[in-house]
Amino acid sequence: MFEPARTRAIHARLKLLPCAVAGLLCATPPSLSALTIVGNFNSSSTAPTSNVFGTGSLTSIFDAAAAWWEAAILDSHTLTISYAWGALDDFSGYTRTNGSVRPSSASIVFDNDGTTQWFMDATPFLAEEYAIYSEHSHDYVAGPQTSLIGTGRVYGSGQGPASKFDMFTLAAHEIGHALGFAFSSSHPLELETIVAAPLPKAGLGIVSFDSTHIGGITDTARNFIDLTPEALIGIDEGTGYTQTYAQRKLPSELDILAVAQRAGFTQVNLQPQVVPIPAGLPLLASALAALGIYRRTRSRRDA
């Protein structure tokens, strides 16, 4: 079970997505952002010696995941995260914050006991190892009208080393906890977080059965949409899985709003980086995606 002031990434192997290109180069994240994530790696911790696939380093992958969140949260804030390898039994990742609503410090441990088959991507801003890409979104009632919320940005069918458990996804997942979607003195067990202005999508409810992982959404008409783990911080309540093999996720609109509302951030960029379209789709679709137009999707479930 989860305990106060810390969160765990459920050992359900969730492989999610940074940026793949299918004929387009992936844009690098914005260099200017008000959020600063300072990562302090414990170099004396021991990396796993078995079940490691790929040639990337934990530090470069962590920095890439942090850059995504820095591009998404625009409030001025500094978060210092100490991270290390460590044995976690059935868990692949574990986060502890300082217990405040908007943490200023946190620690993350990544499993090194050999039970996790890690994909350590040497190019974490690309996702060329993945064969498919999908965006998930759902309609929800917002006052007198229906709106759309993006609930997942997912690469799948990872090839070769990418068929394993994606470290980039887990690092981004855990950083989301460290930023504030976690237990705190003000949110010891909050099952529903309501997005409030000035954040976009005001009135949207983000449901979490354990206070630390997204399980569904509600709207102003009190409809409930149960989500599979589409979101980066998502969870399948039936299985407890937050991540799967051969898959990579980026922070979705839902993830960004969940972290921002819980931690009291008010300025966000819901499209922090161009999300490329997979190989095989027409170039026009890629151009529309870059403009933020081609994003209505692909996986919808009614309440």
243 torsion bin: left (phi>0), alpha (psi -120 to 50), beta (else):
beta
Rounded to two decimals, what is the model's pTM? 0.81
Tell me, what's the pLDDT at 251? 96
Tell me, what's the pLDDT at 280? 44
- Neighbouring CB atoms inside 10 A of 217's CB total 26
Intervals of the chain under pLDDT 70 = 1-33, 183-190, 274-303
Tell me, what's the pLDDT at 114? 92
Tell me, what's the pLDDT at 69? 96
The answer to whether 98 and 263 have CB atoms below 8 angstroms apart is no
Residue 228 DSSP class: -
Distance CA 108, CA 258 (A): 20
Residue that has been written with the tokens 């387009």 in this structure: 24
Rounded to a whole number of angstroms, the CA Rg of the chain reads 18
261 torsion bin: left (phi>0), alpha (psi -120 to 50), beta (else):
alpha
| β-bridge mates for residue 268, sequence order | 73
Which among 31, 15, 56, 279 is positioned nearest to 152, based on CA atoms?
A: 15
Tell me, what's the pLDDT at 231? 96
34-44 pLDDT per residue, tens: 899 999 999 99
| β-bridge mates for residue 232, sequence order | none
**Cβ-based neighbours of 143, under 8 Å, separated by 6 or more:** 203, 220
